[in-house]
């Protein structure tokens, strides 16, 4: 069966809606993307395994060749929501403008799968010494449930994994983690003319914020990694809601904050340090304090500088492996025993924005790089 051309595949992926979002009115199934990929890869001789992670959400693991080791080329099949009226073109139609391919997911990152298929096709007539696995996950842009499910299952994948997130074809071996947390304080409302009639949740939250800012200072003195453009961990007090009227003692207050730990900082240890600060404040202010994640945390990621994959990618791209602030599925693949790297053709500066694009000048170098990675890990005898 004749496959669609590379450009036709790229366009079909863009046209297949697959928004993932924490808001139900935006959230969509990624089934159309998974069905396209499994059809094309199946026609090429890949064994395709589709896993339903939750209703309407699927992972695809396609393998060619067998045995231990090999290479995983990974990406997520979903996109962020979009504002069509802010686009200069139809976001679900591949459009060429000034040497760029515009479309939702062209950069971040459905277009990566078309590049992978283009890279591997001329190699399929050769004998694969080790397998090639193509992984497409669901819901990376919201819960990362697809990658989490893989990590929890614990099934080994390959010797090395490359995630095609937008890095401008520069290898990335470190990124920060993400923790999004919420603190709820329940006090006692009362008439403001007599403070003894209540327990102010707002005043208790003032003390909580002071402790959080002190922890931030402590962590920023303790941890520093100059490879990051912002070398310290960050803690952002994002939004606060409490009370209802000036003449009532505030009975309830909520705070949501964002914490970005560096590699070496464990989310559960950070949460434990926060809880230790909260308990005395609850007793002092006679309030109830609940502390919980808004979403499961994404741990920080670091692949050793001396890893075979890092050195190979540095040699093939001509760029030293670096660090980025955004998070990826890399720590989950690393948990499955893969040397892991983030390396893809898009530019993060245009991701999650109207008129997302892929520079056409990146297409040929990306295909060549992917082909060289496949040849190294799959066509050469195992090291």
Q: Point out the residues that are catalytic.
A: 78, 140
Q: From start to end of 201-248, where are the E strands?
A: 234-242
Residue corresponding to tokens 């559960």: 268
> What is the C-alpha to C-alpha distance for residues 301 and 191, in angstroms, rounded to an integer?
50
Task: Report the relative pairing of strands 71-76 and 132-137 from DSSP bridges.
Answer: parallel
Do residues 75 and 163 make contact, with C-beta atoms less than 8 angstroms apart?
yes
Query: 146: closest CA among 323, 347, 298, 301?
Result: 298
Q: At what angle do helices 6-15 and 31-43 cross, to 10 degrees?
A: 160
Q: Please give the angle made by the CA atoms of 239, 166 and 35, to the nearest 5 degrees.
A: 95
> What is the C-alpha to C-alpha distance for residues 196 and 215, in angstroms, rounded to an integer?
31
> What is the C-alpha to C-alpha distance for residues 127 and 129, in angstroms, rounded to an integer?
6
Pinpoint the alpha helices (H) of 1-79: 6-15, 31-43
Which string of DSSP letters, residue by residue, matches 296-345? PPBPPEE--TT-HHHHHHHHHHSS--EEESS--SHHHHHHTT-EEEE--S
Q: Is 165 exposed, middle or buried (0-12, 13-18, 19+ CB in 10 A)?
A: buried
For residues 23-46, one letter each, b for 16 or more C-beta atoms within 10 angstroms of the residue's C-beta and e for the rest, the string is: eeeebbbbbbbbebbbebbeebeb
Q: Please give the angle made by the CA atoms of 150, 151 and 152, to the nearest 5 degrees.
A: 90
Query: 151: closest CA among 353, 332, 345?
Result: 332
Residue corresponding to tokens 């992917």: 370
Please provide the size of the chain in residues. Answer: 383
Q: Helix, strand, coil: what percent of the chain each, to 5?
A: 35, 25, 40
């Amino acid at each position: 069966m004749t496959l669609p051309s590379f450009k036709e595949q790229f366009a079909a992926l863009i046209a297949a809606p697959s928004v993932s979002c924490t808001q139900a009115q935006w959230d969509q199934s990624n089934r159309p993307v998974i069905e396209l990929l499994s059809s094309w890869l199946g026609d090429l001789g890949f064994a395709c395994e589709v896993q339903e992670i939750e209703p309407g959400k699927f992972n695809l693991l396609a393998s060619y060749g067998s045995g231990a080791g090999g290479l995983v080329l990974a990406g997520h099949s979903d996109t962020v929501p979009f504002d069509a009226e802010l686009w200069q073109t139809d976001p679900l139609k591949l459009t060429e403008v000034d040497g760029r391919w515009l479309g939702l997911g062209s950069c971040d990152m459905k277009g990566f799968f078309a590049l992978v298929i283009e890279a591997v096709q001329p190699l399929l007539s050769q004998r694969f010494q080790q397998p090639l696995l193509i992984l497409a996950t669901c819901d990376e842009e919201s819960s990362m449930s697809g990658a989490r499910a893989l990590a929890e299952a614990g099934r080994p994948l390959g010797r090395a994994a490359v995630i095609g997130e937008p890095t401008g074809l520069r290898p990335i071996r470190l990124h920060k983690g993400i923790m999004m947390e919420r603190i709820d304080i329940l006090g006692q409302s009362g008439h403001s003319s007599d403070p003894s009639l209540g327990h102010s949740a707002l005043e208790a939250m003032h003390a909580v914020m002071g402790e959080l800012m002190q922890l931030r200072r402590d962590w920023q003195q303790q941890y520093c990694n100059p490879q990051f453009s912002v070398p310290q961990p960050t803690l952002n007090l994002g939004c606060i809601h409490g009370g209802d009227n000036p003449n009532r003692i505030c009975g309830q207050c909520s705070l949501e904050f964002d914490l970005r730990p560096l590699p070496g900082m464990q989310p559960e240890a950070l949460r434990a340090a926060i809880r230790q600060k909260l308990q005395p404040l609850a007793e002092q202010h006679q309030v109830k304090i609940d502390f919980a994640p808004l979403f499961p945390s994404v741990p920080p990621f670091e692949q050793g500088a001396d890893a075979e994959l890092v050195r190979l990618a540095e040699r093939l791209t001509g760029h030293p492996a670096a660090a980025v602030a955004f998070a990826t599925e890399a720590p989950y693949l690393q948990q499955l025993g893969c040397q892991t790297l983030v390396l893809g053709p898009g530019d993060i500066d245009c991701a999650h924005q109207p008129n997302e694009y892929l520079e056409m000048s990146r297409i040929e170098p990306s295909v060549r790089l992917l082909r060289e990675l496949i040849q190294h890990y799959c066509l050469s005898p195992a090291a």
